[in-house]
Amino acid sequence: MAYETLIVEQHGAVTLVTLNRPKALNALNAQVLADLEAAFAAFEADAGQGCLVLTGSEKAFAAGADIKEMQPQGFAEMYGPDKFAGYDRMLRATSKPWIAAVSGYALGGGCELAMMADYILAADTAKFGQPEITLGTAPGMGGSQRLTRAVGKAKAMQMCLTGRMMGAEEAERAGLVAEIVPAAKLIETALAQAATIAGLGPLAVKANKELVNAAFETSLSEGVRFERRMFFGLAASQDKQEGMAAFIEKRKPSWTGK
Ligand code: DAK
C-alpha cells in the first residue's frame, strides 16, 4: 500500500516506516496520523511481521505537530473530532513491539511519538524537547506524563517550562533512550535489533512487552503478581517447552507461536 506521508518497507519480518514530509521536518498533521494508523494496523495484522521500526530523516524524526495546521484550530475544531486521539487508538491496537529510531529533532508531538515506542534508539545527533510552552500551549500527546516517567520530575519540569532541548547523551544518561549509535548506523542498528526481536517466540515477545508496560500502570505488588501469573501462563505454551528443550539439547529453538 502507498502512503502520502510515509515510506513503508518490509525487511524480512521487520517493517520499516519512515516519516516522509521533509519540507515540514516531518511535522505531524492529520494525514500523517491517518497514514500511521493504517501502517501500524497493517503491521499488526500481518503474522509475518514481528517488529516495526519508526524513523524520520537525518535532520528530523519529527519537529512536532504541524503548527500551520493547528494555528487556526480552536476548541471546537480540536475537541469535536478529538484531534490526535488516533495515537491512543494506534497504541492500544499494537501488541507487537516497535522501536523509534530518532535522528535529529524530536520535538513536541515528535518527542511524544518517539516516547510512545517500546524503546527509543537515538542517533548521536538526536535532540528531544517539549517546546510547546514557547507557542503558548503545553504538551497534548502524553509528553508531560511520559517524559516525567522517563527522566524524572526535575528534568521534565525544566524542559516543559523552558522548552529547552536535550541532546542524545543527556537523554541516554537520563533514561529516555535505550542506546546511542552513530547517525550513519542508526537504521542498520535499529533493523538488526528489530530482527532479533522478530526472530523470538511471538507469545513471549508479546508477554514481555505487556509486562514492562504494566509497570507504568500498576503498584509494585500488583505488577509482580501479574508477572508471576504471566510466567505461569507462558509455561503452558509450546514455545516455552521448545525453548527450554532446545537449550538442553544445545540446538536453536524453532518457534511456532503456540
Ligand atoms: N509544524 C509545521 N511546520 C514546521 C514545524 C512544525 N512543527 N517545524 C518545522 N516546520 C517547517 C518550517 O516552518 C519550515 O517551513 P518553511 O518555512 O520552509 O515553509 C521548515 O519546516 C523548515 O524549518 P526551519 O526553517 O524552521 O528549520 P531550522 O533548521 O531553522 O529549525 C527547528 C529547525 C526544528 C528548530 C524549527 O523548525 C522549529 O523550532 N520547529 C518547531 C518546533 C516546535 O515548536 N515543535 C512543537 C510543535 S507543537 C495535540 C497533542 C499534541 C500536540 C498538539 C495537539 N492534541 C491532543 C490535540 C503537539 C503540539 C506540538 O508538537
Q: Give residue for cell 511471538.
A: 202
**SS3 state of residue 14:** strand
Ligand 1 pocket, mutate which of 67, 68, 130 (most atoms under 8 A from CB): 67
User: Given a cut of 90, is residue 204 above it in pLDDT?
Assistant: yes
170 is an active site residue: no
Q: Which of 103, 96, 84, 100 is nearest to 37 (CA)?
A: 84
56 is an active site residue: no
- Measure 181 CA to ligand 1 centroid, in angstroms: 25
User: Given a cut of 90, is residue 106 above it in pLDDT?
Assistant: yes
Tell whether ligand 1 has an atom less than 6 A from the beta carbon of residue 142: no
pTM over 0.95: yes
Average the pLDDT over 129-134 and give the result: 98
What pLDDT is recorded for position 229? 98
d(CA 234, CA 244): 12
What pLDDT is recorded for position 1? 82
Mean pLDDT for the chain overall = 97
- Within 10 angstroms of residue 122's Cβ, the number of other Cβ atoms is 28
Say which of 56, 104, 109, 143 is annotated catalytic.
Answer: 109
The model's pLDDT over 15-60, given as tens digits with 9 standing for 90+, comes to 999 999 999 999 999 999 999 999 999 999 999 999 999 999 999 9
